[in-house]
Structure 1
């Protein structure tokens, strides 16, 4: 018979054969002492999402497992690594110091054709967490409420499904990003369009989404959706770039900048590839708010 004691006040359990310490220096005051007993350096100086996993017998003769992250995500990743190491009832002594070389690691679901089912997305988010991926961007082309019918609010049942995805992403330390693609019908010169964008983002914010993308990919960068845009911005790819920057800047100013918890706004330009300069890319570089991150493939 095995007895497991869960202690929240960090008080050691007398007579315990094995003590598991979970939490970094900001989460668990006992972790530092446990690492010292094992002769292992902590995660205090590590980058975000870094962690230390240590298993062994301490200098005091007690067996310990220590999962210490630079932050909550790091501790979570330490647990994922421990899960991979455990086979049966035995675990060899080990010390792992690990941190990511890439800030963002994940998947954008933005392909054409039938998209993933709701259950598949939930399973994907669990898989991302187990394998230390930290980013999922929701951009299925067959969701009409984020592309062809982007101005319309989501029906309650659709919004509830997205909310479940957002919660599952948070449980797995995955940032849930939401992409709105208004380019097929947007009227850049109309203030009501920026208001419609932020209204849609507001509905997602209420679900817990903190990462947003305004995308202008897969549209014609030499046509307007209304005569007022031509009069306001001119003609040609550079004019379209100026209009897109104008709209993204409005979202940045009225929605992102006033929410400290928001991640930086991302913008997918119509020209999102290559390394050569064009009239379009020069205008984007000139007009776009420097706080906005531009997505780029560079192929």
Structure 2
């Protein structure tokens, strides 16, 4: 084994990769989640965070308990993950609890934490995204809640997504101007053991650089936990595309400046495994990584050789052209082509071509 390979293998061992099911639109089935876990658990992925936007009992109706059948499914899936060496966690969005953290909110939050403890979660994420944040004492209020929760949960790791989780000015336009020094104040007050999610210079960052991550580490007084919004394809615009190519713009040198790297997958669970596998390979191979070759290797592993070759030949249509540029006769030919394959990945392509994965603006506003 060469020195270069030895060093790159050490990189993947020191960086925990994870799946963050945090997209808008139709959530995965339990069978699909198990299949993703089964595929990625042996490839360097160490945690699965359940936080689909479509689960109302984690978001708009967070004060209400999950239905018994959902709680049972969560318990079973957590056991499935742990049996394969993956931590299991849940992401909770206590909508604007920081505006009035009164006894009613505390009682509801305590009940939620008790329910999560019964599920046996390893990780608990408090997600303050998708909420107004233009109040001066935002960091102070959120830290109060985080520490209150940390003292009462049995989860061995607590994570938090700040209201302003990126440099991207779109967050200020949508959720109000971020308070001056918000990240610095959050980092100053927050228990050093709490992990902080960060999506980079943009909400959907095209790349992460060591220089950027070093700066964020100084602001937060800890290395950020990457919430990487690739290959996610939710929303009215992005759901018109399949994000399939291998990861780029994530150099192995980032490993010195992150506590972990979680990816928000696409609406298509099987197809999401293709880029997910390339991320693990990029950390293993370091500067020797080639995203085109990594894509083909991952596609063959997930889909088999024949279907992988078909996908590669249509990659420009799926990832760059999208449904909006696809003529009806061309679409029907593609549907016929992929219907010929008896494979869940092919069925996901057919469903996408039929518009079954389209996410509406209403879903984004209401989930």
**Range class of TM-score, shorter chain:** 0.5 to 0.7
Distance in 2 between residues matched to 1:218 and 1:112, nearest whole Å: 12
Structure 1 residues 210 and 294, CA gap change in structure 2 (3 angstroms): same
**Structure with larger RCO (C-alpha < 8 A, sep 6+):** 2
* Structure-2 residue corresponding to 1:102: 14
Give the helix-richer structure, 1 or 2.
2
Q: Which residue of 2 aligns with 1:294?
A: 196
Q: Give the structure with the higher percent strand.
A: 1
Query: Is 1:270 matched up with 2:163?
Result: yes
Deviation larger for 199-208 or 181-190 = 181-190
Whole-angstrom distance in 1 between the partners of 2:97 and 2:146: 15
Root mean square deviation of aligned Cα: 2.4
Give me the whole-angstrom Cα distance separating, in 1, the residues matched to 2:85 and 2:131.
33
Superposed CA offset, 1:48-87 (max 9, x none): xxxxxxxxxxxxxxxxxxxxxxxxxxxxxxxxxxxxxxxx
Q: CA deviation at 1:142?
A: 0.4
2:67 matches 1:155: yes
Which residue in the other structure is 2:76 paired with? 164
1:100/1:189 CA distance change after superposition, 3 Å? same
Stretches of structure 1 that go unaligned for 5 or more consecutive residues are: 1-96, 223-235
Preserved contact between residue 94 and residue 128 of structure 2 (Cα < 8 Å): yes
Residue 284 (structure 1) aligned to one of 183, 186, 193: 186
Structure 1 residues 195, 286: closer, same or farther in 2, change over 3 A? farther
Which residue of the other structure, out of 134, 144, 163, is the alignment partner of 1:246?
Answer: 144
How do 1:107-126 and structure 2 match up within 5 A?
A: 107-126=19-38
Give the TM-score of the pair, scaled to structure 2: 0.46
User: Residue by residue, what CA displacement relative to the aligned partner does 1:78-124 show, whole Å, maximum 9, x if unpaired?
Assistant: xxxxxxxxxxxxxxxxxxx9784333212101011112112111111
Gapped regions of structure 2 (runs ≥ 5) = 1-8, 169-177, 202-367
Equivalent residues of 1:194, 1:251 under 8 A apart: no
User: C-alpha distance in 2, partners of 1:198/1:99?
Assistant: 39
Give the counterpart of 2:90 among 160, 178, 186: 178
Matches of 1:207 and 1:280 in 2, distance apart? 33
Q: Is the CA contact (8 Å cut-off) linking 2:97 and 2:105 kept in structure 1?
A: no
2:143–2:186 Cα contact (<8 Å) kept: yes
Partner SS for 1:200: helix
For normalisation by structure 1, the TM-score amounts to 0.56
Q: Supply the distance in 2 between the matched residues of 1:99 and 1:171 (Cα, whole angstroms).
A: 24
Tell me how far apart the structure 2 counterparts of residues 194 and 269 of structure 1 sit (CA, whole Å): 20
Q: Quote how far apart the aligned CAs of 1:126 are.
A: 1.1
- Within 1, Cα distance between the matches of 2:191 and 2:103? 18
Q: Measured at CA, do residues 186 and 108 of structure 1 come closer, stay the same or move farther in structure 2, by a change above 3 Å? A: same
CA offset digits 1:168-192 (Å, max 9, x no partner): 1011111111110012466443144
**Shift of residue 277 of structure 1?**
9.6
| Pair 239,219 (structure 1): closer, same or farther in 2 beyond 3 Å | same
- CA distance in 1 between counterparts of 2:183 and 2:103 reads 24
The structure with the largest alpha-carbon Rg is 1
- The answer (yes or no) to whether the contact 1:194–1:250 under 8 Å persists in 2 is no
Say which SS state the counterpart of residue 141 (structure 1) adopts: coil
Q: Secondary structure at the match of 1:153?
A: coil
1:134-213 correspondence runs (5 A): 134-184=46-96, 187-213=99-125
